[in-house]
Amino acid sequence: MTTDSAAQSFLEYQATGQVVSAPGRVNLIGEHIDYHGLAVLPMAMGQAVRVAFRTRSDRQIRVSSSGFGVREFAWTRELAPAASGDWENYVRAAAQAIGRKWGAGRGIDAAVASDLPPAAGLSSSSALLVALALCLLRANGLEASFEELMDILPDGEQFVGTRGGGMDHAAILASRPGCASLVAFDPLSARPIPIPHDWTFLVLHSLEMAEKSGALRNEYNARRWAGTGALQRLGFHSYRQALDGRAEEELSALAQQLDPGMERDSFLHVTGEAQRVLAAVAALEQANATGFGQLLNQSHASLRDKLRVSCPALDRLVEAATESGALGARLTGAGFGGCAVAFCMQADLAKVRRSLVDGYYAGRTDFDENRHVIPVTPGPGALFARQ
């Protein structure tokens, strides 16, 4: 299907059916720790995946997307994966998540439109999964609570071979306008944390792709297993137990019991990042911009040096952002490419943006300022957006 054909289908389904919008998310701080059950601090973006659909009378699911073609299959309770790396797996993941809980029902004809860059660390794939799941629910007259959706959607990502946590889905579903979300697990909660009105964020694309469902899948998963292995060797059953009442110095001493390498470094990153999340919440509540920016810088250093998920392009971009006047910057998302998030005061936004365009991005023929330097306003999640 051509781009024009997919766009035409979107307009057709929009006119005769319904549209579901699921925002991307930018994680302000708390990277590679949600899958260890630790709290994180994302916010929803204004940019989103939008799916226009109409309900069918049979169980066929047919979805088209500009640039990615058409995928069609029969909806059954248990579905086999499509080819590794194929975007159809996100469609199948949504159908299987809904089907396992409520049974396979009526299918949909759907068309996807998005202003989220793919493979950028902004959860475009999770937004697609959420949007498609909500479409299937609506097509079958079903309603689901935040808790019910969070019970089934994170496992859907594993359909494509990655083992993540629930941060992306929680932020995409439950964010509130003007707020970051302190997403905690066991028990699940998403507490809105207001962002001071004179603070602002830029999402900056490194121009390096970070395709988590492709070649880097094993690298992503290895970080999770290293963190879990460190816990087991130290005799803890969870990172909450390891963190309980322990200062940074005690945690560093514990880490010395591990052999040098990924397990030790993962333990240090996870415990340090968990403490930074709580400090960032306090900085937001106190409107401490300098302190918040320093925490972002510390987070990036840990992701670069301990977890080793950065890349030269992201490191240069983060450095360029702070040199341009940002108070802090860090990679956001799984890493290995994709985006950084930079924090600055609203009054400095134009200066920071222009400095980056004229500096880091100068001479790049693949650079598009509107797509790669994105001012971000904290928006509503899919459960609170006007559809």
- Report whether 289 contacts 328 (CB < 8 A): no
- What is the C-alpha separation between 171 and 1, in angstroms, rounded? 32
- The closest alpha carbon to 112, from 5, 203, 210, belongs to 5
179 three-state secondary structure: strand
Residue with tokens 């998540």: 97
Strands (E), the chain: 18-29, 41-55, 60-65, 69-74, 108-114, 179-184, 189-194, 199-205, 328-332, 339-345, 373-376
Separation CA 310–CA 333 (nearest Å): 10
Q: Determine the Cα–Cα distance for residues 71 and 88; give it in Å rounded to an integer.
A: 6
Distance CA 180, CA 387 (A): 21
Active site residue 168: yes
- List Cβ neighbours of 36 (8 Å cut-off, separation of 6 or more): 165, 224, 227, 228, 238, 239, 270
Pseudo-torsion of CA 90, 96, 99, 104, nearest 10°? 80
Q: Is the dihedral of CA 234, 36, 182, 342 positive or negative?
A: positive
For 227-262, give the DSSP string.
Answer: HHHHHHHHT-S-HHHHHTT--HHHHHHHHTTSPTTH
316: closest CA among 202, 201, 206? 206
Task: Give the separation between CA 148 and CA 145, rounded to whole angstroms.
Answer: 5
24 Ramachandran zone, left/alpha/beta (phi>0; psi -120 to 50): beta
> Which residue among 155, 168, 305, 348 is the active-site one?
168
Radius of gyration of the chain (CA): 21
Q: What residues are labeled active site?
A: 168
